[in-house]
Amino acid sequence: MSAAKKLKRHLKKTLLTGIFSTIPLVVTVALVVYVEKSSRAPVKALFGIDVPFIGFAVAIGVIYLVGLIVSSIVGRMILEWIDRLLLKVPVLRELYKAWKQVSLTPGGREGIYAKVVLVPDGERAVLAFTSGDPLEGDPERCCVYIPEVPNPMVGRLFVVERARCTELNVSVEEAFKMILSSGNYVPAAIGRQTAMTPTEGAPASDA
């Protein structure tokens, strides 16, 4: 692959990752600013005083209530309905799928990469995420996402033999903490399970 193609591929992947990763932040900031501007006037009209940052307090309360609703059974049903609705919109569907794939949000609903595994790579073992689902037409292989440190939103996708993946008894959230801390935080379960014998060779193919 030429240097120009490598640069183009790198820029495309990095820009898309940045765009989809900042969507939740942009939406949250926009919501807070909107509530701040919308709530100050009614409060001033009601009490006769201008209360600074009252909108931010209201926004935090709204976000907290949304969190309570989403974590409830009714909230999950609403999320599933919204999920199905977004997947039916032609253009938005592709953007939503891409956002779901790159947003490996700890503590969220089970996504594409719900399992944490170790994949042998020569004399070392690499931390990766996978759904564990076999490839269509090739039940012996699966896709694994190997994140970069300390930014797990950037990484590489490989196709490997399922037998080479050692599932770890750690949550996606714990794995994220380990990645974000550059290894300064290591879940105890990883230390106990790394007594595996690495096999020769790197992951099979880069998707």
Residue 41 included in any domain: yes
Looking at the structure, tell me whether residues 148 and 200 fall in a common domain: yes
Does the global pTM surpass 0.75?
Answer: no
Amino acid in the structure at residue 45:
A
The per-residue pLDDT for range 107-162, each reduced to its tens digit, is 444 455 678 898 988 888 889 988 777 888 888 999 898 988 877 777 888 899 99
Tell whether 4 is covered by a domain. no
pLDDT in tens, 18-43: 776 677 777 777 877 787 777 777 77
CA dihedral 190, 167, 161, 159 (to 10 degrees): -80
**Residue pLDDT, tens place only, 3-12:** 777 777 777 7
**What backbone torsions phi and psi does residue 129 show, to the nearest 5 degrees?**
-115, 145
Q: DSSP for 35-69?
A: HHHHHHHHHHHHHSS--TTHHHHHHHHHHHHHHHH
For residue 3, is it within any domain?
no
Tell me if 18 is assigned to some domain: yes
Same domain, 24 and 45: yes
| Residue that is last in its domain, among 72, 102, 132 | 102
Q: Mind listing the pLDDT tens digit for each residue in 151-193? A: 777 788 889 999 988 888 888 878 888 888 888 888 876 766 6
CA 118 – CA 193 distance, rounded (Å): 9
Same domain, 97 and 59: yes
Residue 112: the pLDDT is 57
Angle at 32 between CA 28 and CA 34, to 5 degrees: 115
- The percent of residues in the chain predicted with pLDDT above 70, rounded, is 72
Last residue of a domain, one of 102, 124, 158: 102
- Number of domains forming the structure of the chain: 2
Does residue 90 share a domain with residue 155? no
54 lies in which domain range? 9-102
SS3 181: coil
Instruction: Give Cα separations from 191 to 169, 183, 194 (angstroms).
Output: 11, 12, 6
Q: What is the pLDDT of residue 61?
A: 82
**Amino acid 87: pLDDT:** 75
Q: What does residue 199 show for φ and ψ, rounded to 5 degrees?
A: -105, 160
- Domain-ending residue, one of 50, 67, 102: 102
Cα–Cα distance, 9 to 170 (Å, whole number): 32
- Tell me whether residue 78 is in a domain: yes
